[in-house]
Amino acid sequence: RTLGAQVATIHSDADADALHVREIGESVRVGPAPARASYLDVDAVVRAAQRVGADAVHPGFGFLSENAAFARACADAGIAFIGPAPETLTLFGDKAAAKRLAQELGIPVAAGLDQPSDDVDALVAAVQALPRPLILKAVAGGGGKGMRVLRDGDDARGAIEAAIREGRSAFGDGRLIAEHYLAAPRHIEVQILGDGEGGVIHLHDRECSLQRRYQKVLEEAPVTSLPTAAREALSQHALALGRASRY
């Protein structure tokens, strides 16, 4: 409104009377209530953008906001995707690939099994050689899905099979990596902005450690009680990753 730009939005059947629909005024139905049949339907969202003649799409948060296929579909339709390039989304959507890039740049990472696999027997053999506790992670995972902690005496095969099943169900990818488990970590993020050509700046840090069921409850910015040297190192690591990936 401030810029005088025309804006439209989308909704599922469940949100036909939602605040964003009422406020924006122009909204396109993209499907029934289940997210997979509406907000996660790439073709339906692109058709909605074409229907209103959109020049660009802002994906918001969650749903398709970090989906490389959606960013690519927008580009194919001649619509600007307000976010990272599909290649960048693909890279950082894969924990193993992102971790390899960090290692190449000399950025410290958690020790463990970096090569992803969904071969149960191979994973069972590999984790036997790793010190416990360790954590299994779905490479395409997020929100705590596809993760299992293995402590001394735990059944490795059962945990691996469960994590693979969950990864396939939630993300369509059952491959896992294994890492040293940090029992009481802090979750600190550095926010970055890039021009897509290697120019990257950071917008300082954010404390995200207060969580429930692996979901953030409260974020505090900037982070308090963080040594200056650690803050500077985190910022430089984030900038290095952004430059290398042309974020």
Three-state DSSP string of the chain: CCCCCCCCEEEEHHHCCCHHHHHHCCEEEEECCCHHHCCCCHHHHHHHHHHCCCCEECCCCCCCCCCHHHHHHHHHCCCEECCCCHHHHHHHCCHHHHHHHHHHCCCCCCCEEEEEECCHHHHHHHHHCCCCCEEEEECCCCCCCCEEEECCCCCHHHHHHHHHHHHHHHHCCCCEEEEECCCCCCCEEEEEEECCCCCEEEEEEEEEEEEECCEEEEEECCCCCCCHHHHHHHHHHHHHHHHHCCC
What pLDDT does 162 receive?
Answer: 95
Give the CA radius of gyration of the chain. 20
What pLDDT does 114 receive?
Answer: 84
Under 8 Å between Cβ of 235 and 227: no
Angle at 196 between CA 191 and CA 201, to 5 degrees: 35
Name which of 112-121, 137-146, 154-163, 202-211 the model is least confident about. 137-146
Exposed e or buried b per residue across 95-104, where buried means at least 16 C-beta atoms within 10 angstroms of its C-beta? bbebbebbee
What pLDDT does 170 receive?
Answer: 81
pLDDT of 96 over the 90 cut: yes
pLDDT tier for residue 22 given thresholds of 50, 70 and 90: very high
What pLDDT does 46 receive?
Answer: 98
What pLDDT does 214 receive?
Answer: 82
What pLDDT does 112 receive?
Answer: 93
Pair of tokens at residue 108: 């410290």
The per-residue pLDDT for range 156-207, each reduced to its tens digit, is: 999 999 999 999 988 889 999 999 999 999 999 999 999 999 999 999 999 9
What pLDDT does 238 receive?
Answer: 98
Name which of 45-54, 131-140, 165-174, 215-224 the model is least confident about. 165-174
The per-residue pLDDT for range 39-76, each reduced to its tens digit, is: 999 999 999 999 999 999 999 888 899 899 999 999 99
pLDDT of 31 over the 90 cut: yes
pTM as predicted: 0.85
Percent of the chain at pLDDT exceeding 90: 85
What pLDDT does 85 receive?
Answer: 93
pLDDT tier for residue 213 given thresholds of 50, 70 and 90: confident
- Average pLDDT in the 70-84 region? 96
